[in-house]
Chain A
Amino acid sequence: MTLPVAELSTENPIGPVGEGERKKIAGRSPTRIAIDRLRKDPIAVVCFAFVLLFVIIAVFAGTICDLLGVSTETVRASTRIDLVTLMPLKGPPNHGFDPEHPFGVAPGSGTDNLAVWIEGCRTSMYLASVSAILSTIIGVTLGLLAGFLGGIFDTVISFMTDLFLCFPFLLAALAVAPIINERFATDTAKLKFVSFYALVAILVFFGWMGVARLVRGEVLSLREREFVKAARVIGVPTHRILIREMLPNLIAPIVVSFSLGLPAYVSAEAGLSFLGIGVFGRESWGRSIAAATKYWEEYPLFLLEPVIGIAVLVVALNLLGDAIRDAFDPKTRR
Chain B
Amino acid sequence: MFSFLVKRLLSGAMIVVLVSMMVFLLFFYGPKSPALELCRRDTHGRCGETSPRLEQYEERLGYNNPVYSEYGKWAKGLVQDRTIYIGSTGYKCEAPCLGLSYRDRTLVTDQLKERFPITLSLAVGASLLYLMIGVPIGVLAARRRGSFADKALVSSTLVFSSIPYYLVALLSMLLLTLSTHVFPTVAYHPFLDNPFKWFSGFLLVWLVMGLYGATAYTRYSRGSMVEVLNEDYVRTAKAKGLKDRVVVIRHALRSALVPVVTIFGLDVAFLLSGTVFTEQIFDLDGIGKWGLEATYIKDLPVVQATALVLAVAVVMANIIVDIVYSVLDPRVRLS
Residues of A within 8 A of B (CB): 163, 165-171, 174-176, 178-179, 182-183, 263, 267, 270-271, 274-277, 289, 293, 296-297, 303, 307, 310-311, 314-315, 318-319, 322
Interface pair B295/A175, CB less than 8 Å apart? yes
The smallest C-beta distance from B151 to any residue of chain A, in angstroms, reads: 12
Which of A176, A314, A315 has the largest count of B CB atoms less than 10 A from its CB? A315
Chain A contacts of B291 at CB under 8 A?
Answer: 171, 174
Separation of A275 and B269 alpha carbons in the complex (Å): 19
Interface pair B296/A178, CB less than 8 Å apart? yes
Closest to A178 in B: B295
Interface pair A174/B292, CB less than 8 Å apart? yes
Separation of A162 and B295 alpha carbons in the complex (Å): 25
- Chain B contact residues (Cβ within 8 angstroms of A): what range? 35 or more
Chain A contacts of B170 at CB under 8 A?
Answer: 289, 293, 307
Contact of A315 among B163, B272, B311 (CB under 8 A): B163
Separation of A263 and B277 alpha carbons in the complex (Å): 18
Interface pair A182/B31, CB less than 8 Å apart? yes
Is the contact region of chain B dominated by helix, strand, or loop, or is it mixed?
helix
Separation of A170 and B298 alpha carbons in the complex (Å): 16
Separation of A166 and B30 alpha carbons in the complex (Å): 22
Seed contacts A271-B166, A314-B164; 20 additional CB < 8 Å A-B pairs: A167-B311, A168-B269, A170-B276, A171-B291, A171-B307, A171-B310, A175-B26, A175-B295, A175-B307, A178-B295, A178-B296, A179-B298, A182-B31, A267-B164, A271-B277, A274-B166, A296-B179, A297-B178, A307-B171, A311-B163
Task: Decide yes or no whether B124 CB sits under 8 A from chain A.
Answer: no
Task: Decide yes or no whether B67 CB sits under 8 A from chain A.
Answer: no
Chain A contacts of B310 at CB under 8 A?
Answer: 168, 171
Interface pair A166/B277, CB less than 8 Å apart? no
Closest to B14 in A: A163
Residues of B within 8 A of A (CB): 15, 18-19, 23, 26-27, 30-32, 158-159, 162-164, 166-167, 170-171, 174, 178-179, 266, 269, 272-274, 276-277, 280, 291-292, 295-296, 298, 303, 306-307, 310-311, 314-315, 318
Interface pair A174/B32, CB less than 8 Å apart? no
Separation of A293 and B166 alpha carbons in the complex (Å): 13
Interface pair A314/B163, CB less than 8 Å apart? yes
Closest to A167 in B: B19
Interface pair A322/B292, CB less than 8 Å apart? no
The smallest C-beta distance from B303 to any residue of chain A, in angstroms, reads: 6
Chain A contacts of B292 at CB under 8 A?
Answer: 174, 275
Separation of A141 and B163 alpha carbons in the complex (Å): 31
Interface pair B166/A168, CB less than 8 Å apart? no
Chain B contacts of A318 at CB under 8 A?
Answer: 158, 162
Separation of A168 and B163 alpha carbons in the complex (Å): 21
Which of B15, B18, B167, B318 has the largest count of A CB atoms less than 10 A from its CB? B167
Contact of B164 among A163, A169, A182, A310 (CB under 8 A): A310
Chain A contacts of B163 at CB under 8 A?
Answer: 311, 314-315
Are A168 and B314 also in contact (CB < 8 A) when A183-B30, A183-B32, A322-B158 are?
yes
Separation of A319 and B156 alpha carbons in the complex (Å): 11
Can you give 6 contacting A-B residue pairs, CB < 8 Å? A171-B291, A174-B292, A176-B30, A179-B26, A314-B164, A315-B163
Are A166 and B276 also in contact (CB < 8 A) when A171-B306, A178-B296, A179-B30 are?
no
The smallest C-beta distance from B35 to any residue of chain A, in angstroms, reads: 14
Chain B contacts of A183 at CB under 8 A?
Answer: 30-32
Are A307 and B277 also in contact (CB < 8 A) when A166-B311, A319-B162 are?
no
Which of B26, B162, B164, B280 has the largest count of A CB atoms less than 10 A from its CB? B164
Separation of A318 and B19 alpha carbons in the complex (Å): 32
Chain B contacts of A315 at CB under 8 A?
Answer: 159, 162-163
The smallest C-beta distance from B19 to any residue of chain A, in angstroms, reads: 6
Contact of A275 among B15, B31, B274, B277 (CB under 8 A): B277
Separation of A296 and B171 alpha carbons in the complex (Å): 10
Interface pair B26/A174, CB less than 8 Å apart? no
Interface pair B273/A263, CB less than 8 Å apart? no
Separation of A45 and B23 alpha carbons in the complex (Å): 45
Closest to A318 in B: B162
The smallest C-beta distance from B209 to any residue of chain A, in angstroms, reads: 15
Interface pair A166/B15, CB less than 8 Å apart? yes
Separation of A274 and B165 alpha carbons in the complex (Å): 12
Closest to B174 in A: A296
Separation of A183 and B158 alpha carbons in the complex (Å): 41
